[in-house]
Structure 1
Amino acid sequence: MSAEVAVDGPDRKKKKRGHLAALVLARGGSKGIPLKNIRALAGKPLIAWVLRAAIDCGHFDSVWVSTDHDEIEKVAKQYGAKVHRRSPEVSQDATSSLETIQEFLKHHPEVDIVGNIQATSPCLHPNDLIKVVDLIQNQGYDSVFSVVRHHLFRWKEVKAGETTVAENFTPARRPRRQDWKGELHENGSFYFATRELLTKGLLQDGKLAYYEMKPEHSVDIDIDLDWPIAEQRVKRYGYFGKNPTVVKLLVCNVDGCLTDGRIYVNQEHELISYSLRDVDGIRMLLDKDVQVRLLSERDISKTLVSNLNLPCLIEANVSNKKEVVERWMGELGLSSWSQVAYMGCSYSDVECLKLAGTRGVPGDACTAVKMMDSFVCQHGGGYGAIQEFADHVITLMETGR
């Protein structure tokens, strides 16, 4: 049995049990974040991330969004889902997910099993869903839900003046993380259950299993403070689609990406610094047959060019970056910006970043480029940002994300 799954009964294979529907609940009246289900996250509506995972999984007989809002309906259909218009009675603040699912089942008698997937879990991957579908369709489980492992010490809540006690460890023998398996917690990413259980008012019962998700894929968005954290997690660990990313050309702004943007001046020379890690990152891309071009708005020193010792073109005194990139694309026979990865850090990079198929910015880039649908590096310019972005580009190409 997979380490990702725990069960309460013996395994036994069964034939497919009936129509399995993925169902995403997306009410329009969220009070915490208005219309959060279609708010842009890493360049796509929040709900689009789970819909893509469910559809690309290929194991659902139908994929639905239950909503009461016209704009959510429009986005759901745009990303390939069917839409169930829920009634006002199950669109209230106090309406439970279970009540909404039960209403859906009343209108769709063909559905035998529901996979309720939370729109607020944007790091969900098709492979996780495929494994869960196998459990409930072929191995006979009646309900399966997602969990994540936490290593958190819990203490009993008490009134002021009372003495608290530890609930899941002994304070005198605090375990090290590597010596403690931790505990499993529901993460709310999905709940699968048969029609029979759901109509009885049960999400978890019968032959029951949990599915343990990787911590990096366990993301939930509840309030605004969750948004920037979720966005960075999605950019690093999210599912980006079946088709592998194809990058033929990477263009990087020298000023503020390869360098830290500072100039050191003495009486005779201007000096700049760069990281050897970034040079290694460029070499990694060259080894993957990705052409690399560097550009600068300044007059780049010939000494820098020779010190890099890289077989890549560098163009200085660039006033129109888009024009230069498109000239390079023509020289390489590239007809689409979708095959271009661009790394920039300043306002003059915005136009090229908008066009590029893959985008990256250093951690200390200006706000305008950070707010775009770009991979935001943890490292700053001149301190390994290019190597970090190169790793990201290679991951996209190799994993089909």
Structure 2
Amino acid sequence: NEVDKRRTDPAMSSRKPAAGEQQSNGETADKRHKAALILARGGSKGIPLKNIKSLAGIPLLGWVLRAAVDSELFDSVWVSTDHDDIEKVALSWGVQIHRRSAEVSKDTSSSMDTIQEFIRLNPEVDIVCHIQATSPCLHPFHLKEALEFITEQGYDSVFAVVRQHHFRWQEVKKDLGELTHPLNLDPSNRPRRQDWDGELCENGSFYISHRELIKEQGHMQGRKVAYYEMRPEYSVDIDVDIDWPVAEQRVLRYGYFGCVPPEVVKLMFCNISGCLTEGSIFLSVSGEEMVSINTRDTAGIRMLQKEGVEVILLTSSLDPFEKTLSKKVSARLGCKVLCVGEQRLDDLETLVKERKLSWKDVAFMGNDEIDVKCLNVAGLSAVPSDAPVVAKNAAKYMCAAPGGKGAMWEFTEHILLQKCKAKSQLEQDRIDRASS
């Protein structure tokens, strides 16, 4: 097999003419039927129904479906499943369903068994892009650049890789004990990281191939092969429960959130108790009660205000000391303070509507079970690291810092990062439209 590569660089991307449209050289664009196929069996052993478990606010499956649909590269997008609940989630994204047979739904069935069944039942498909649901940081530009290997450069198959710098050793079992020998290094001359190109490892994000290659060879990597290198931050793998919180933090920073407006957040609600304060009360020698507020958190609030985000601080009628403190905080930061009850969502709904916003324009930072409904509906939501589990499960972002010790600052950085990403996306869309 002949192997080639192309480094990941969104700036290198060029618009591919639509089917039947004339290219600049006068040739007709590729008219072959290109299908995206995501395999989502219901019998996951490591994490039950993993493919539809909520990751950063949407089902795991939704992240790759959004990237595939928004890429506008495929004539059809499919989810192959054997489970009713997975089918319902997939249909909500407007894609087609390949209801796989019992023969390819066994624990012993391979992905290739299902892919071969799919192409047999869908003879119109010429090119298959198998996208793994466990790759939530996939972006449309990854798919676009990889597919160009086949549609514009004449390759037969392409797959995603990530570059790694790991020294590997081969285990050798002998009668006298377990021995080992190096596979990719000379221990007497260990290279520095900057002097070593590393190795290319499949990251499993996607595999693209011709149907004829799949039929004839029974796999998706053959004939004239290319690899597509993805940067490490986009390479996420989810196999067991311990991978989930790591994947959530990665996808919140590097995931594809779709074509969103530049003002990701226009209104911010934040609890004073447990978010701006750590919940401790200090007594002075004279008996005066005091609390501490981290200056980084107040700086975060000012950063949001500078970016045009209205910040409203929340206090509870059940905590009169916090209500007294809120007046001083409000005066120092120039924030409105709102006293809310147990039905916080109802109390805040009126404010959201008065400003002619929807909850997708709202960020919410809470720290307790009473905040769960607001954490669920807000476009961006977060809790400090010391929040209870019920609140952590509802939030879309979990801060590394505890309440009163920089959590607000951390969430501010996340909000502004999403805003920056959205503006960059709109600017790229503007450039694409201007060049088309």
State TM-score, norm by structure 2. Answer: 0.83
Displacement after TM superposition at 1:232 (Å): 2.6
The corresponding residue for 2:324 is 300
Shift in Å at residue 35 of structure 1? 2.4
Q: Does the CA-based 8 Å contact 1:300-1:316 persist in structure 2?
A: no
Cα separation, 2, equivalents of 1:88 and 1:31: 17
Structure-2 residue corresponding to 1:394: 416
Q: Contact 1:17/1:137 (CA < 8 Å) preserved in 2?
A: no
In 2: Cα distance, 1:355 partner to 1:106 partner: 42
- Whether contact under 8 Å (1:341, 1:359) holds in the other structure is yes
**3-state SS of the aligned residue for 2:403?**
coil
Which residues in structure 2 correspond to 1:152-171 (within 5 Å)? 152-159=166-173, 161-171=177-187
C-alpha distance in structure 1 between counterparts of 2:92 and 2:195, whole Å: 48
2:382 counterpart residue number: 360
The letter for the 2-side match of 1:153 is F
Give aligned pairs, total. Answer: 392
**Greater Cα offset, 200-209 or 263-272:** 263-272
Alignment match, 2:22: none
The residue identity in structure 1 corresponding to 2:96 is: K
Find the aligned partners of 1:55 and 1:224 in 2 and give their Cα distance.
28
CA distance in 2 between partners of 1:22 and 1:196 (Å): 16
Q: Could you tell me how far 1:350 is from its partner in structure 2?
A: 2.3
For residue 186 of structure 1, what is the amino acid of its counterpart? E
Q: 1:317 to 1:57 in 2, by over 3 A?
A: closer
Q: 1: CA distance between counterparts of 2:105 and 2:342?
A: 54
In structure 2, the CA distance between the partners of 1:256 and 1:140, relative to structure 1 (3 Å rule), is same
SS of structure 2 residue aligned to 1:158: strand
CA distance in 2, matches of 1:94, 1:330: 53
Task: Choose the corresponding residue for 1:278, options 289, 297, 301.
Answer: 297
> Structure 2: how far apart are the matches of 1:269 and 1:62?
68
Q: Is the 8 A contact 2:8 2:142 kept in 1?
A: no
Superposed CA offset, 1:212-250 (max 9, x none): 112122112222332232223222322222223632110
- Within 2, Cα distance between the matches of 1:208 and 1:305? 62
Q: Indicate the SS of the match to 1:394.
A: helix
Instruction: State the superposition RMSD in angstroms.
Output: 2.5
Instruction: Return 276-285 or 59-68, whichever deviates more.
Output: 276-285
Q: What are the equivalent positions in structure 2 for 1:25-36 lying under 5 Å apart?
A: 25-36=39-50
From 193, 202, 206, the equivalent of 2:209 is 193
How many angstroms apart in 2 are the aligned matches of 1:214 and 1:190? 14
Matched, 1:116 2:130: yes
1:88 and 1:354, CA in 2 relative to 1: closer, same or farther beyond 3 A? closer
Paired residues for 1:260-279 under 5 Å: 260-266=278-284, 267-279=286-298
Q: Identity, % of aligned pairs?
A: 53
2:359 pairs, out of 337, 361, 386, with: 337
- Residue 3 (str. 1) matches residue 3 (str. 2): no
Aligned counterpart for 2:107 among listed residues 63, 77, 93: 93
Shift of 1:317: 8.1
Write out per-residue CA displacement over residues 298-343 of structure 1, whole angstroms, 9 at most, x where no aligned residue: 233378427x742322346867644553454365x23433322110
Change (3 A) 1:108 1:355: closer
For the residues of structure 2 that align with 1:289 and 1:229, how far apart are their CA atoms? 31
Q: How many angstroms apart in 1 are the aligned matches of 2:342 and 2:84?
A: 45
Matched, 1:150 2:167: no
Q: Mind listing any 5+ residue stretches in structure 2 that lack a counterpart?
A: 10-24, 317-321, 426-436
- Give the secondary-structure state (helix, strand or coil) at the position aligned to 1:23: strand
CA deviation map 1:363-383 (0-9, x unaligned): 121222101142111122222
Q: Would the alpha carbon gap of residues 51 and 329 (structure 1) be closer, same or farther in structure 2, given more than 3 Å must change?
A: closer
1:217 paired residue number: 234
Equivalent pair of 1:299/1:317 in contact (CA under 8 Å): no
Check 1:195–1:355 CA distance in 2 against 1; reply closer, same or farther (3 A cut): closer
Report if the CA contact (8 A) 1:295-1:318 is conserved.
Answer: no
Q: SS of the counterpart of 1:165?
A: strand
TM-superposed deviation, 1:398 = 3.0
Query: Per-residue displacement from partner, 1:107-141 (whole Å, max 9, x unpaired)?
Result: 11111100000112122111111111222211211
- Letter of the aligned partner of 1:176 in structure 2? R
What amino acid is aligned across from residue 19 of structure 1 in structure 2? H
**1:168-208 Cα deviation digits (max 9, x unpaired):** 22223333334433211111111000112111113111221
CA distance in 2, matches of 1:338, 1:376: 18
Change (3 A) 1:319 1:265: farther
After TM superposition, the structure 1 stretch with the greater mean CA deviation from structure 2, 209-218 or 296-305, is 296-305
**Match of residue 289, structure 1, among 292, 308, 324:** 308
Decide whether the 8 Å contact of 1:148 with 1:213 is kept in 2: yes
Unaligned 5+ segments in structure 1 are: 6-12
Native 8 Å contact 2:6 2:227 kept in 1: no
Letter in 2 for 1:314: V
Aligned twin of 1:8: none
**In the TM superposition, what whole-angstrom CA distance separates every residue of 1:238-268 from its partner, at most 9, and x where no partner exists?**
2222223632110111112112222211233
Q: Secondary structure at the match of 2:130?
A: strand
1:73-127 deviations in Å (ceiling 9; x for gaps): 2221111210112222222222221221111111111111000001121221111
2:336 to 277, 288, 313: 313
The CA deviation string for residues 280-300 of structure 1, in whole angstroms up to 9 with x for no partner, is 221221121111111223233
Measured in 1, the distance between the counterparts of 2:202 and 2:135 equals 13
1:9 corresponds in structure 2 to: none
Residue 137 of structure 2 aligns to a residue whose secondary structure is coil
Partner of 2:248: 231
Q: d(CA) in 2 for partners of 1:318 and 1:32? A: 41
Residues 96 and 300 of structure 1: CA distance in aligned 2, closer, same or farther (over 3 Å): same
Return the alpha-carbon distance in structure 2 between the equivalents of residues 71 and 168 of structure 1. 45
Q: How far apart, CA to CA, are the structure 2 residues paired with 1:342 and 1:21? A: 39
Indicate conservation of the 8 Å contact 1:17/1:138, yes or no: no
